[in-house]
Amino acid sequence: MKLYMVPLAPNPTKVMLYIAERAELAVEMAIEQIVVNTVKGRHREPEHLARNPFGTVPALELDDGSHLVESLAIIEYLEDRFPEGTLLGTDPLERARARDVERIIDLRVAGPMGAYGHAKNSPLGRPPDPEKAAAMKAQVQTPLDYLEGLLRDGRPLLLGERVNLADLTLQASLQFLRYVEADLFGDRPFLRAWDERYRERPAAKAVLRW
Ligand SMILES: N[C@@H](CCC(=O)N[C@@H](CS)C(=O)NCC(=O)O)C(=O)O
């Protein structure tokens, strides 16, 4: 299999962290990682559009040459195909809680965080937009409070002792914020401690560049 990705972007980073975390559990999925240079616009060229008509990364090329183009579907496929030591767990409620938190992060935090980063200091050269930055900052307050609340019981990671998809999804967005030198955590000491802790993990050290 081949993963078409670009290192800084949150959705590919989530999948890259996932592959690295599974490798730490000795699950080798033999996925070649190939950079699509989005800064040079390669994701909008025919070669990549043939893989993914929506022109986004990541895209996972399967052994039959077909592609999966949604990061969550890619991860769930890999969970199902390599079921030893999965990150989502095996108990139905455990899996549901993990997906619940992952969806909250992806739908309520990741989008506004990305938009906030671009509004503050866009690496794509978009002009600063203080009004949009303020609106995005306001949007993430309730979900960040929710995540801070989860960690307040002393658990090391978002779902407990074991690393979970939720940790990867949040960390993938945070890398982008770090790159643009922005911070949205405010006065949330548990999230800050979680961030430091997660970035000490071998998988994080292998994947995160910022
Ligand atoms: N829902 C998709 C979103 C993919 C996506 O929007 N990827 C971004 C990078 S994080 C991208 O390729 N952006 C380039 C563009 O939209 O032009 C997923 O979860 O994989």
**Does the beta carbon of 71 sit less than 6 angstroms from any atom of ligand 1?**
yes
Q: What is the whole-number distance in angstroms between the Cα of residue 102 and the centre of ligand 1? A: 17
**Does the beta carbon of 165 sit less than 6 angstroms from any atom of ligand 1?**
no
**Does the beta carbon of 16 sit less than 6 angstroms from any atom of ligand 1?**
no
**Does the beta carbon of 56 sit less than 6 angstroms from any atom of ligand 1?**
yes
In the chain, the amino acid numbered 71 is S
Instruction: Give the mean pLDDT of 73-85.
Output: 95
* pLDDT one-digit tens code per residue, 124-181: 889 999 999 999 999 999 999 999 999 999 999 999 999 999 999 999 999 999 999 9
CATH class of 2-81: alpha beta
Distance from C-alpha of 195 to C-alpha of 129, rounded to nearest angstrom: 27
In the chain, the amino acid numbered 53 is P
Q: What is the whole-number distance in angstroms between the Cα of residue 57 and the centre of ligand 1? A: 5
Residue nearest to atom 6 of ligand 1 (CA): 56
Q: Which pLDDT score, from 0 to 100, does residue 10 have? A: 96
User: Does the pLDDT at position 121 exceed 90?
Assistant: yes
Q: Are 16 and 9 in contact (CB under 8 A)?
A: no
Q: Are 87 and 18 in contact (CB under 8 A)?
A: yes
CATH of domain 92-201: 1.20.1050.10
Distances (CA, A) of 158 to 18, 52, 130, 167: 15, 32, 31, 6
Structure tokens at 38: 């989005």
Structure tokens at 16: 């890259």
Q: Which pLDDT score, from 0 to 100, does residue 52 have? A: 98
In the chain, the amino acid numbered 34 is I
Q: Which pLDDT score, from 0 to 100, does residue 54 have? A: 98
Q: Which pLDDT score, from 0 to 100, does residue 190 have? A: 98
Instruction: Give the mean pLDDT of 73-94.
Output: 93
* pLDDT one-digit tens code per residue, 11-48: 999 999 999 999 999 998 999 999 999 989 999 999 99
User: Does the pLDDT at position 82 exceed 90?
Assistant: yes
**Does the beta carbon of 57 sit less than 6 angstroms from any atom of ligand 1?**
yes
Residue nearest to atom 12 of ligand 1 (CA): 56
Task: Give the position of tokens 């999966």.
Answer: 68
Domains 2-81 and 92-201 share a fold: no
Q: What is the whole-number distance in angstroms between the Cα of residue 55 and the centre of ligand 1? A: 8
**Does the beta carbon of 171 sit less than 6 angstroms from any atom of ligand 1?**
no
Instruction: Give the mean pLDDT of 41-60.
Output: 98
Q: Which pLDDT score, from 0 to 100, does residue 123 have? A: 87
Q: What is the whole-number distance in angstroms between the Cα of residue 64 and the centre of ligand 1? A: 23
Q: How confident is the model at residue 99 (pLDDT cuts 50, 70, 90)?
A: very high
Q: Which ligand 1 atom sits closest to the C-alpha of 10? A: 10
Name all contacts of 129-138 with Cβ < 8 Å and 24+ positions apart.
136/112, 137/112, 137/184
**Does the beta carbon of 70 sit less than 6 angstroms from any atom of ligand 1?**
yes
Distance from C-alpha of 39 to C-alpha of 114, rounded to nearest angstrom: 16
**Does the beta carbon of 13 sit less than 6 angstroms from any atom of ligand 1?**
no
Q: Which pLDDT score, from 0 to 100, does residue 33 have? A: 98
Q: How many CA atoms lie within 13 A of 27 on its CB side?
A: 17
Q: Which pLDDT score, from 0 to 100, does residue 32 have? A: 98
Q: Which pLDDT score, from 0 to 100, does residue 50 have? A: 98
Distance from C-alpha of 207 to C-alpha of 29, rounded to nearest angstrom: 16
The rounded Cα 162 to chain-centroid distance in angstroms is 17
Q: Which pLDDT score, from 0 to 100, does residue 163 have? A: 97
**What does the buried/exposed string (b/e) look like for 105-116 if buried means 16 or more CB atoms within 10 Å of the residue's CB?**
bbebbbebbbbb
Domain boundaries defined on the chain: 2-81, 92-201
**Does the beta carbon of 43 sit less than 6 angstroms from any atom of ligand 1?**
yes
